[in-house]
Amino acid sequence: KNQVEQSPQSLIILEGKNCTLQCNYTVSPFSNLRWYKQDTGRGPVSLTIMTFSENTKSNGRYTATLDADTKQSSLHITASQLSDSASYICVVSQKTGANNLFFGTGTRLTVIP
């Protein structure tokens, strides 16, 4: 069964600290993996997209890693800011067919001063 699981469900960190969010998937065949940031009540905004051959991709203070062998990805946020408070959603695309996106339920990150 194609699934995407994220952990932790929620996380509270102090401003300025780093954190790492996890995404494990069983989607096959794999096409790509995206991390989205979703502010409360808003639509998700893409942070990174990674294909099978990419191990690491950065977008400012956000760094995503992908291990296609173990089917795991992580999103590392450095020097967190209050504006990082949001839900972070891992989305995996399947290589075959159409509308083949599988969504994780997200990690709710709260950054406190």
**Minimum separation from the CB atom of position 79 to other proteins (A):** 26
User: What residues line the site for other proteins (CB under 8 A)?
Assistant: 31-32, 34, 36, 41-46, 49, 89, 91, 93-94, 97-101, 103-106
Sequence-distant contacts of 56-59: CB under 8 A, at least 24 apart: none
Measured in degrees and rounded to the nearest 5, phi and psi for residue 30 equal -80, 140
Q: Which is nearer to other proteins, 11 or 49 (CB)?
A: 49
Q: How is residue 90 written in tokens?
A: 């891992």
- Min dist. Cβ of residue 22 to other proteins (A): 16
Closer residue to other proteins, CB minimum distance, 15 or 103: 103
| Closer Cβ to other proteins, 97 or 113, answer by number | 97
Residues 6 or more apart in contact with residue 68 via CB below 8 angstroms: 30, 52
Paired strand residues for 45: 37
Q: How far apart are CA 30 and CA 91, in angstroms?
A: 11
- In angstroms, give the least distance from the CB of 14 to other proteins: 24
